[in-house]
Amino acid sequence: MSDATAIVDRSEVPAGGSYRFTAEDAFGNETEVILVPCEDDPGVRAWVNNCTHEDQRLDAGRGAAIRDGEIICPRHGSMFDACSGECDNGEASGTTLPSVDIAVEDGSVLLIDEHYEYRHDGGVNDGDDGPGSTSHISF
């Protein structure tokens, strides 16, 4: 089954940062995911928004720090390859960020991972305070 949900326009993924959204996993848990630029096709990757070393968001709300194609953990500075998710330095050395399957079609980034369902843009707690106040999500 291919259930694809449009997340955002590819052009909205910043060249030096990340686009954050929230998805629900198979167990009903909300999980933050970041879209980051990658030189390889299709130009963007999706990773679970958490460092593999400790419970630390890579994008805490202002976009992940990305330099030379690497995502930098804000807590201890380990760097993850934006394309492969691999880390070979610092505290998180030898680990790989959990990936989320996406595709790019007609300029849109689509969530195609059968383990996740798109919930909303922004972080887990951002569902009801968007700037446009047009959210239909209530708690």
Q: Which chain residues interact with ligand FES by CB under 6 A?
A: 51, 53-54, 56, 73, 75-76, 78, 90-92
Closest CB to ligand FES among 79 and 109? Answer: 79
Residue 125 backbone phi and psi in degrees, to 5 = -95, 10
- Least distance to ligand FES from the beta carbon of 39, Å? 23
Q: 33: which 2 tokens?
A: 């995911």
Q: Please, which residue, 85 or 127, has the CB nearer to ligand FES?
A: 85
Least separation in angstroms between CB 61 and ligand FES: 16
d(CA 29, CA 33): 12
**Coil/strand/helix, residue 11:** helix
Q: How far is the CB of 34 from ligand FES (least distance, A)?
A: 14
Distance separating alpha carbons of residues 23 and 21, to the nearest angstrom:
7
- The 3-state DSSP class for residue 103 equals strand
Comparing CB distances to ligand FES, the nearer of 75 and 120 is 75
